[in-house]
Structure 1
C-alpha cells in the first residue's frame, strides 16, 4: 500500500451523518417558497454536491430561484443544522490512530467553511485536523470540489507530490481528487452508491471508517 502523509476528508457522508440537519433545512426552504415536490423526492440526493447544483437539478429551479432557496436553507441551517449531526461509528478511533501515527489530516468540503468549522467545533473534532477548508457563502467561489481541494493544498503548502489521499462518499470527491492529481478513496457508509463511486474509479473503496487504517499496514 502507498504510504500517505496527508488525509483529506469530506465532511457530510464521510466524517458525519448530516442528513437530519440538511434535510430539515431543505424542507424549510421548500415550504417557505411553496415549491411543489413529489412525495417520493429523495432528499439524500441533495447531500454532497454543491447546494446550488442540487436545488437546480432536483427542484428544477433557475439560478435566481435556486439562490433564494439557498438563502432560506442557510437561514434554517445556521440555527439548527449545525447541531443536527452525528459522527460515524469508528471514525474517532480512525482519526485518533492516524494522528498518532504522525499523519496530517484536513477536511475539504463543499459546505461553506464557516459552517464546517462550527460543526467540527461542536462535535469536538478540532484536535484531529490541521485545517478545515470549505466553500465560501458566495456560491461562485470554491463551489466545485476540485477548487476546495486545491484551496486546502495551497493553504497547507503542499502539492500532489505530497502523497495525499482524498476520502469521500460522492463522485464529486473522487473527480475533484483526480483534477488535482491526488489518489482517492470512496466510502460506502455515506450518501453515494457503490455504482456512483465505481464509475469514477477511485483508488480504493472502503466499507467502514476503520478499513481506512488497513491502508497503513
Structure 2
C-alpha cells in the first residue's frame, strides 16, 4: 500500500533514538573520570550523560570548569577513536526498518545529532543507514563550534535544502529535553521517543510522545491506497 507523510522531511537524533551506545559510553566515561580524579557514574546515572554535548555534561555533572571539560572531552574522544566509534553500539529494534520504509516512500531524512559528526557518519555506515539519508549532520569534533541542538537542527535543514529537499514541514525525532528545546528554538516540532534515556517530564513541549516504533510509524507515515 502506498504511504505518504505529513512531514516534508524527518530529522533524527542518534544517541537514545536510533542507537544505544550506552555500554561503550559508560566504559569510556569511567576511564575518563577516573583519569581526572572524579567519581565514575553508575549505569543508572547515564541519563545525565547521554544526549547533551559531553562538553556541557562534564561541567554540569561533575563540576568541571570549561577548561577542564575541554581536556576531558579530548581525552574521552581519544578513547573513542582508539576503541572504534561503533564498538558496543546497537540499533534500537525496528528503527532501521522504519528508516528504510521512509526512504522507500520518498521521505527525505537527515541526522541531527549532538554526537561529533565523524562518529555519526561511522555509525550510519556501520548500520547501513547512510543510503536512507539525504544528509548526515552532527556536532563539530570539539562540540563547541557547532554544538547546540538548535544550531545542529538548523544545519541539517540547511544541508537538506541545499540538496533540493523541501524543508517547509520538518520534524525532529529525539529522546531528551534538549531535543525538544533545540527543535522548538529552531522552529521544528518534535516527536519524543520514550525508549531512550529520558525522564518522563522531558517530553514536555513535544508535539507528541511515543512508546515504540509502531506508534512512531503511525505519526510519520500514512498508508494511502489512493496515493493522495
TM-score (norm 1): 0.92
The equivalent position to 1:52 in structure 2, one of 33, 55, 72, is 55
Q: Hey, what's the Cα distance between the residues in 1 that align with 2:73 and 2:148?
A: 16
Gap change, CA 1:160 and 1:60, over 3 Å in 2: farther
Whether contact under 8 Å (2:8, 2:167) holds in the other structure is no
Q: Hey, what's the Cα distance between the residues in 2 that align with 1:105 and 1:161?
A: 10
Q: Hey, what's the Cα distance between the residues in 2 that align with 1:155 and 1:37?
A: 38
Q: Hey, what's the Cα distance between the residues in 1 that align with 2:198 and 2:81?
A: 25
Whether contact under 8 Å (2:109, 2:134) holds in the other structure is yes
Q: Hey, what's the Cα distance between the residues in 1 that align with 2:143 and 2:77?
A: 12
Q: Which runs of 5+ in 2 are unaligned?
A: 223-228
Residue of structure 1 in register with 2:176 after alignment: 170
Q: Hey, what's the Cα distance between the residues in 2 that align with 1:207 and 1:117?
A: 27
Whether contact under 8 Å (2:29, 2:41) holds in the other structure is no
Q: Which runs of 5+ in 1 are unaligned?
A: none
Superposed displacement of residue 81, structure 1: 5.3
- Give the secondary structure class of the aligned counterpart of 1:131: coil
The equivalent position to 1:153 in structure 2, one of 147, 150, 157, is 157
Matched positions, count: 215
Superposed displacement of residue 138, structure 1: 2.6
Alignment of 1:127-142 (within 5 A): 127-142=131-146
Aligned: 1:22 with 2:25:
yes
Residue of structure 1 in register with 2:38 after alignment: 35
Aligned: 1:112 with 2:116:
yes
Task: Describe the superposition over 1:104-159 as per-residue Cα deviations: whole angstroms up to 9, x where unpaired.
Answer: 01100011101110111122211111111011113321110001001111111179
Q: Hey, what's the Cα distance between the residues in 1 that align with 2:33 and 2:63?
A: 12
Whether contact under 8 Å (1:91, 1:210) holds in the other structure is no
Aligned: 1:183 with 2:196:
no
Kindly report structure 1 stretches of 4+ aligned residues shifted beyond 4 Å.
37-41, 158-161
The equivalent position to 1:214 in structure 2, one of 215, 218, 221, is 218
TM-score (norm 2): 0.88
The equivalent position to 1:125 in structure 2, one of 109, 126, 129, is 129
RMSD: 2.1
Gap change, CA 1:114 and 1:196, over 3 Å in 2: same
The equivalent position to 2:76 in structure 1, one of 73, 85, 90, is 73
Gap change, CA 1:182 and 1:212, over 3 Å in 2: same
Gap change, CA 1:103 and 1:160, over 3 Å in 2: closer
Q: Hey, what's the Cα distance between the residues in 1 that align with 2:96 and 2:150?
A: 26
Q: Hey, what's the Cα distance between the residues in 2 that align with 1:101 and 1:121?
A: 21
